[in-house]
Amino acid sequence: MQLTTRKTVNQWTEYTLTNDHDMSVSFLDFGGIITKMMVPNREGKLENIVLSYEDYKQYEDNPNYFGALIGRVAGRIEKASFELDGKEYLLIPNEGKHHLHGGTTGFHQVLWETKPFQTENEIGMKLFHSSPDNDGGYPGNLDVTVKYTLTNDNEFIIDYEAVSDQKTIISLTNHTYFNLSGNLKDTVEQHVVMMDCEEVLELDHELIPTGKLMEVKGTPFDFSQGRTLAEGIQSEHPQNIIAGNGYDHYFLLNDGTIVVKDESSGRVMKVKTNQPGVVMYTSNTLEEGLQLQGGISKQYSGVCFETQGSPASLHHTVLPEITLQAGEKYQKQTIFSFQNE
């Protein structure tokens, strides 16, 4: 196992963790952005399975949130406001009147402090960021630690921890776009996804959750037996159409497990989380024509599995809350593990 570092054109540091099977994960101290994941296909060939810019300068303004850590709250906060113990908090709107992915002070654009670590079968990096009280309108001084770990079992583990000195709200995630075909050979339309989920949050035309939980049975949102993403992308279901022809929805997970398979390469990714759900986004609105590592971006170039608590819980009571008490430890984990079939 080894850790290598290099300076990027804009003087950030890029770290690469490599395990004993030559699987590697690269990321920046800026935004904790994952820039590369080299994972073997069924022939053992290592290829990059995440979307990343060719020119790292483009990460400075990263409207697609490629690979980045998202906080304080992932997803959309309706009308950029919420109430906590009877007090109204106003955040900075950055998508129309709404607040998306932590807003203008989001964690995807801060320089994280780093500290490497290594054990017998794991190599990794701890990333630290302190977000001051009233940062972007959020209450509480919040100390965040994110740990990226690569194991010799081809697992990439993200541990999220945070503590605030005041009651606050928090829901952290990572916004990596996966494409298991490798080096962007294909879109993700033929990826097969399986997850144990009975209900999905319905969206309105601004992609704001209505608060209604939709039963997935008999719809393209039912992934219990596994289905290709193409089915939802091509579907006439109003919820697929509203999302820009595809998926951009919060799936409430029963057992926190998602399995993604790409038949062409043989790669299988298992996602395991203790978060209550996941936003699966099939890059329906991804800007086309961007120069990425391995090719040019187009619609459906990647799929994100943004494990998170839903910010819709701030305005609707049907979902687990995302509040954190003063002094309480926020502790979440998502494991991405890789195999071949």
Chain positions contacting ligand FUC, by CB under 6 A: 64-65, 207, 248, 279, 281, 285, 306
Which of 276, 329, 267 is CA-nearest to residue 303? 267
The tokens describing 51, both together, are 């979307």
Q: Give min distance, CB of 286 to ligand FUC, in A.
A: 8
Say how far apart CA 102 and CA 73 lie, in whole Å: 5
Which residues are bridge partners to 123 per DSSP? 118, 150
* Residue 311 beta carbon to ligand FUC: minimum distance, rounded to whole angstroms: 11
DSSP states of 297-310 as a string? --TTS-EEEEEE--
**Residue 150 DSSP SS3:** strand
246 SS3 class: coil
Closest distance of CB 304 from ligand FUC, Å = 6
Helix (H) or strand (E) holding 145: strand 142-151
175 is a catalytic site residue: yes
Catalytic, out of 129, 175, 191, 249:
175
User: Using CB atoms within 10 A of its CB, is residue 12 exposed (0-12), middle (13-18) or buried (19+)?
Assistant: middle
Task: Indicate the helix (H) or strand (E) that contains 39.
Answer: strand 34-40
Those residues whose C-beta lies under 8 Å from the C-beta of residue 86, and which sit 6 or more positions away, are none
- Shortest Cβ distance from residue 216 to ligand FUC (Å)? 18
Smallest distance, ligand FUC to C-beta of residue 308, A: 9
Distance CA 217, CA 134 (A): 42
The structure tokens listed for 193 are: 């996804």
Judged by beta carbon, residue 285 or residue 340, the one nearer ligand FUC is 285
DSSP, residue by residue, 274-299: SSSEEEEE--TTPPTT-EETTEE--T
Distance, in Å, from the CA atom of 19 to the CA atom of 41, rounded to the nearest integer, reads 16
Is residue 299 within 8 Å of residue 284, measured between CB atoms? yes
Shorter beta-carbon distance to ligand FUC: residue 210 or 285: 285
Output the smallest distance, CB 48 to ligand FUC, in A. Answer: 20
Q: Which is nearer to ligand FUC, 123 or 172 (CB)?
A: 172
Q: Closer to ligand FUC at the Cβ: 64 or 151?
A: 64
Residue nearest to ligand FUC (CB): 281
Q: How many CB atoms lie within 10 A of CB 255?
A: 10
Question: At closest approach, how far in Å is the CB of 167 from ligand FUC?
Answer: 26
- Of 271 and 279, the one with the shorter C-beta distance to ligand FUC is 279
Is 306 in the active site?
yes
Q: CB-wise, 199 or 306, nearer to ligand FUC?
A: 306
The residues annotated as belonging to the active site are: 175, 306
